[in-house]
Structure 1
């Protein structure tokens, strides 16, 4: 037996030699799919197709009709072909190492072992066998098989040396999306469904459609052997198939499969599903299906500013209403992390890479980011990687609030140097709980390393705001504290705490309001307003109950279930005080109970 990379050599034998042996006749070929799929951890796709992982051999059996294989007169050459002749594009061949063993389990049958190298291109292959026997040559197409990345193979850049993590980030079809605000994190299930029927073919179709993203490389598909370039193509394609303006409400989806199927069955037309959680989850499905360990990350407080990526400003009027400006503070934002060794960065071991498929506005228009080495974001190595400066700035941005007064004058009422990127979480391995991975992206506030990175990246910090984000020196401490955890249909109960830090009394008038806020920071309807006068004695602490009834917020609450309550002092008092609180209204739980019943079992053998 010979591999396709070898050169065929002509052998001449006496005519009388061939008179004793007939040309060997190839019979049935058993691709041994169930066993190979089990060994390659691809049996979750089903065992009716040959789906294997590169860097790992697979075996099949070839039987013959008329006689046993004789290596002295019989030779075989194997070729594998992939590329896009399936999609009417170019065609190319790639040689695998082919080893034949003669340990058979039946007469007239040989065991053939095919070894796809650890740098084999991702995709669907056709396996051909050419037999030369007794001077006669013929060829047979043995069938097709699929090659995926292999996180179980130490030579593959996506190698992950932890079985529990491989089970979570490759094999687990069920995930959790984390939403809400950083003080009230909510969750909902998401079905990735990377092993569902047809999903693998859809994922390969995504690569075919995105081939033009690699100009000059799509002709030979050589980029398909590199997880970095594959992830860039997927990251580019996911938002290309999205429309934010119309279609199904984003929060009505609970899995990736219907989205991918709708895209594929609709002749690759955009699916209108659009929000960061579903984008990141669909990308996670595609990456896991292709064999790249991946997970969805949620970051709470994510700034989006076109003008200054290191500073975001929100404007409020005298009633406390959040005005719609150019800058937005997203209450949360989801992206994808994928595990791979970056050969372009000379990494010898795998690590997490950040990939954000949500197009974000930049000074040069909207763009997706990644893959960005997560550690380079923490260390501030912004010139090392793709779009590292975007992620670093959005995780280390200042957040300032301004009060717009009647005379168009704006007064800064607070500046917080640490709200952005203050908590990043993902689903824990083998658990329904979340794992806090903030330390992977940034150092703890106040650490010397954090100050060095901020200085190296020219971040202008208001150091006084690190202790207290509110800039007023009036001597009044104020905050809003939740008195209940409101469910949809329930009233919102808050405690408004005020403390006079001075020895003289204070009389202040406050305007209060509540309005709906979308997850991406867009202010909507202001549905409640009130005003109250507060008298504080020297060093007095006062707790004032506040209530926003369901009848007030219910008609306005959107799918995001987020509202903002603000209390701002009247400008006539001469002192500017402001306090705010983002509140999440919990969705009511769905409880399914199975009514008990008696089932009498009978012995069918006696029926």
Structure 2
């Protein structure tokens, strides 16, 4: 009888990927999750397979690491090592015979691209077959995996979903920003694996890096550094200068695929440019692709404490102008990610959400990265817990010391303990709403969501008894005037002569403002125990920016000086001026996969001049983007019909951006759609 001989091996890519919930991911290899079996079908010729006479041995190779796994006929798969079990054989005298083998990976296997070989040993021959490659990911469905997440709804949101909302603006005027994570787009998973391969850790010691990749804590630290380009061949270069001529304005990005592809196609040159929400959104894409549950989180009034004293110092002139003194700053908002994982390195009680921040701010162990910092450790102020807990703790809990100075001399000081970390939020699972998660970080007080646009800074009562606050009369929108009141209360029983200094400065969301673009000064009298309300307006022409931004940010301050005593009281507020939104309607609410649909994008020009720009419409799970040039007359409403064909079923998002040249601003809109199987 003929010798036993393997003819073909089928890795059963479609069936295995459906079972492993990786069927939407696009890769040049089979894509699997660790801690779960996958089945291989082998056809052979010659005499029937006899495990007493033939040995089948799989060799699983990851870089310089390899393991040999003999096929056994009986036995339970091992949870902590690779194993292979013969499931059944199909002897058929007329057709090639087949063997079905189940391979099991341990739930602690390293994430990476593996090569699979098969060695067939008979009494007279030894033959080796190269079977191909497979990409192994973390498995939040496996209880033995350190990224296991109990709820199927949360796994759907934080691993499977490729659509999201990022929150920007200010805590009193929140802007919802659509983002397409694009982890299912063609080639994106392979690019995500490249981040691991190009990391300094992998380049320095491949074997050590590959062994460490069994831990999501380690992977999170590597990816946090690789999303920015400061120390390595990372993906994005940051730019907060306002000058983006040699790259892309961060406000124009609306998805991760364009960024990751550009990085790969330019031989891994950094993509220009990113800011915090772009860094965080790209990191979310990479972590979800690797199987690690991840969400994007915004911290409003985020303190950047450079000297580690957990105090943020802010300086104002006696005229109410915020001064660029000191390296500490409060960002109107800052965006990072949280990933879900166990923390065996910290002991009990620190499993769960971990802060990871890829925006390059401070070095952590010689590299620009941050985390994973356990949210529980931040809540409990366990500032000695690895990694970078003091930095994140200060970002959500720092005290603000406000100082008025003249010629280097301190005129007055005040302390605000509630401003930093005013609101911490993320997208609500399963809906396009905001979820307030402030109470997961802060235990001293749970801040109520602000519904009004009343922004009193804590009253600063001088000994003579003055109190001052600012009140925006409505949410500011680009193209309209900014209207606000100053409310001054004389708390003593004698009249006062006051000097008023008002100051408005444009600012970037992440640092102190530039020079004043608007100011007003004057003298006034206030009677005993009197409260005076004064209305002011800043016109659109006075605050218009030169560079296109999604939202203009303004620092508004008033200093009231008691002429007689020279006591000064400051009230200030930073707020965003929202861009008008694009409205998207889908003609047919019943949207079916691979069937052309029609949507309408509507925009009303609020400006007194004609505007021109480029409209870009895309759908998550849709390859092609629709681009149109537009010219819209003053106060005109334009309706643009857009045809689109969704390629994937499930929760999807149609999103649009309109980049206007004059005035320079970026507008966004989105529509959540549920795509049905045909």
Q: Distance in 2 between matches of 1:273 and 1:377?
A: 30
2:453 corresponds to:
none
> Aligned equivalents of 2:352 and 2:369: distance in 1?
20
Tell me which moved more, 207-216 or 236-245.
207-216
Q: 2: distance between equivalents of 1:512 and 1:105? A: 90
**Residue 150 of structure 2 corresponds to residue 156 of structure 1:** no
Match in the other structure for 1:6: none
Judge which range, 552-561 or 273-282, deviates more: 552-561
| Partner residue, 2:377 | 376
Q: Which moved more, 1:278-287 or 1:563-572?
A: 563-572
Checking the alignment, whether the CA contact within 8 Å between 1:397 and 1:420 is kept in structure 2 is yes
Counterpart CA distance in 1 for 2:186 and 2:214 is 24
Hey, what does 2:534 align to over in structure 1?
544
CA distance in 1, matches of 2:263, 2:342: 31
The residue aligned with 2:559 is 568
Q: Matches of residues 181-196 of structure 1 in structure 2 within 5 Å?
A: 181-196=170-185
Name stretches of at least 5 consecutive residues in structure 2 with no aligned partner.
70-81, 448-456, 586-599, 601-638, 642-678
2:487 matches 1:492 = no
- The equivalent position to 1:62 in structure 2, one of 24, 30, 42, is 42
Query: Where does residue 458 of structure 1 map in the other structure?
Result: none
Following superposition of structure 1 onto structure 2, how do residues 156-235 of structure 1 map, counting pairs within 5 Å?
156-212=145-201, 216=205, 218-219=207-208, 221-235=210-224
Query: Which stretches in structure 1 are left out of the alignment for 5+ residues?
Result: 1-20, 84-89, 448-466, 598-607
Q: Give the whole-Å Cα distance in 2 for the aligned partners of 1:547 and 1:479.
A: 16
Deviations along 1:146-191, one digit per CA (max 9) or x if unpaired, are: 1100000000000000111101110111111111112222121111
Relative to structure 2, which stretch is displaced further, 474-483 or 258-267? 474-483
Q: Which residue of 2 aligns with 1:443?
A: 443
Residues 596 and 309 (structure 1), Cα distance of their counterparts in 2 relative to 1, 3 Å cut: closer
Distance 1:542 1:469, change over 3 A: closer
Q: Which residue of 1 aligns with 2:597?
A: none
Q: In 2, distance between residues paired with 1:229 and 1:499?
A: 56
Q: What is the DSSP-based 3-state SS (H/G/I as helix, E as strand, rest coil) of the residue aligned with 2:371?
A: strand
Residue deviations 1:420-465, cap 9 Å, x none?
Answer: 1232111111111111111221212499xxxxxxxxxxxxxxxxxx
Question: Does the C-alpha gap of structure 1 residues 387 and 471 become closer, same or farther in structure 2, counting only changes over 3 Å?
Answer: farther
Q: Aligned-pair distance for 1:295?
A: 1.0
- State the secondary structure of the residue aligned to 1:272: strand
1:471, distance to aligned residue in structure 2 (A)? 5.1
Find out whether 1:332 has 2:321 as its counterpart.
Answer: no
Distance 1:418 1:174, change over 3 A: same
Distance apart, 1:27 and its partner CA: 2.4
Equivalent residues of 2:170, 2:300 under 8 A apart: yes
CA contact (8 A) 1:279 1:358 kept: yes
CA 1:419–1:24 in structure 2 vs 1: closer, same or farther (change >3 Å)?
same
Contact 2:439 2:446 (8 Å CA) reproduced: no
The separation in 1 between residues aligned to 2:322 and 2:180, in whole angstroms, is: 36
1:344 Cα deviation after fit: 1.4
The 3 A distance-change label for structure 1 pair 39 and 586 is same
How far 1:219 moved relative to its partner?
4.8
Bigger helix share: 1
Is the CA contact (8 Å cut-off) linking 2:342 and 2:351 kept in structure 1?
Answer: yes
> Residues 416 and 469 of structure 1 are in contact (CA less than 8 Å); yes or no, is this contact kept in structure 2?
no
CA contact (8 A) 1:305 1:361 kept: no
Give how far 1:52 is off. 0.8
Q: CA deviation at 1:413?
A: 4.0
Structure-2 separation of matches of 1:295 and 1:70: 51
* Cα distance change, pair 366–128 in 1 and its aligned pair in 2 (3 A): closer
Structure 1 residues 228 and 311, CA gap change in structure 2 (3 angstroms): same
Query: Does the 8 Å contact 1:256/1:285 carry over to 2?
Result: yes
- Change beyond 3 A, Cα 1:105–1:269: farther
Whether the aligned pair in 1 keeps the contact of 2:560 and 2:570 (CA below 8 Å) is yes
- Corresponding position: 1:519 with 2:513: no
Whether contact under 8 Å (1:518, 1:558) holds in the other structure is no
CA contact (8 A) 2:350 2:374 kept: no
Secondary structure of the 2:372 match is strand
Distance change >3 Å, CA 394–CA 47, structure 1 → 2: closer
Greater mean alpha carbon deviation, residues 273-282 or residues 528-537? 528-537
Quick one: structure 1 residues 145 and 417, their matched pair in 2 at CA, closer, same or farther if it must change by over 3 Å? same
Change (3 A) 1:528 1:436: same
Q: Deviations over 1:531-557 (max 9, x none)?
A: 233433333333221111111111457
Equivalent in the alignment of 1:131:
120
Q: CA deviation at 1:213?
A: 6.5
Q: 1:491 to 1:298 in 2, by over 3 A?
A: same
Question: Which structure dedicates a bigger proportion of its chain to strand?
Answer: 2
Q: CA deviation at 1:507?
A: 3.2
Aligned to 1:434: 434
1:234–1:557 CA distance, 2 compared to 1 (3 A): closer
Q: Which residue is equivalent to 2:298?
A: 298
CA change 1:104–1:533 in 2 (3 A) is farther
CA distance in 1, matches of 2:217, 2:285: 17
Q: Report the CA distance shift for 1:484/1:42 in structure 2 as closer, same or farther (over 3 A).
A: same
Name the residue aligned to 2:577: 585
Structure 2 counterpart of 1:502 = 492
Does the aligned pair in 2 maintain the 1:293–1:339 contact within 8 Å? yes
RMSD across aligned C-alpha pairs, in angstroms? 2.7
Moved more, 577-586 or 557-566: 557-566
Aligned equivalents of 2:374 and 2:145: distance in 1? 18
Closer/same/farther in 2, CA of residues 103 and 347 from structure 1, 3 Å limit: farther
C-alpha distance in structure 2 between counterparts of 1:94 and 1:539, whole Å? 87
Provide TM-score, normalisation by structure 2.
0.76
Structure 1 residues 469, 299: CA separation in 2 closer, same or farther (over 3 Å shift)?
A: farther
Following superposition, the deviation at residue 216 of structure 1 comes to 5.0
Of the three residues 59, 80, 84, the one matched with 1:79 is 59
Distance of 1:104 and 1:544 partners within structure 2: 89
- C-alpha distance in 1, partners of 2:224/2:128? 41
Q: Which residue in 2 is equivalent to 1:418?
A: 418
SS, match of residue 359 in structure 1: coil
Number of aligned positions between the proteins: 551
Answer yes or no: is the 8 Å Cα contact 1:212–1:218 preserved in 2. Answer: no
Secondary structure at 2:359's aligned position in 1?
Answer: strand
CA-to-aligned-CA distance 1:204-248 (integer Å, 9 cap, x gap) = 111111152696564562011111111111112122334335632
1: CA distance, partners of 2:116 / 2:366: 45
- In structure 1, C-alpha distance between the alignment counterparts of 2:390 and 2:194, rounded to whole Å: 32
**Is 1:244 matched up with 2:235?**
no
| 1:4 equivalent in structure 2 | none
The separation in 1 between residues aligned to 2:206 and 2:62, in whole angstroms, is 15
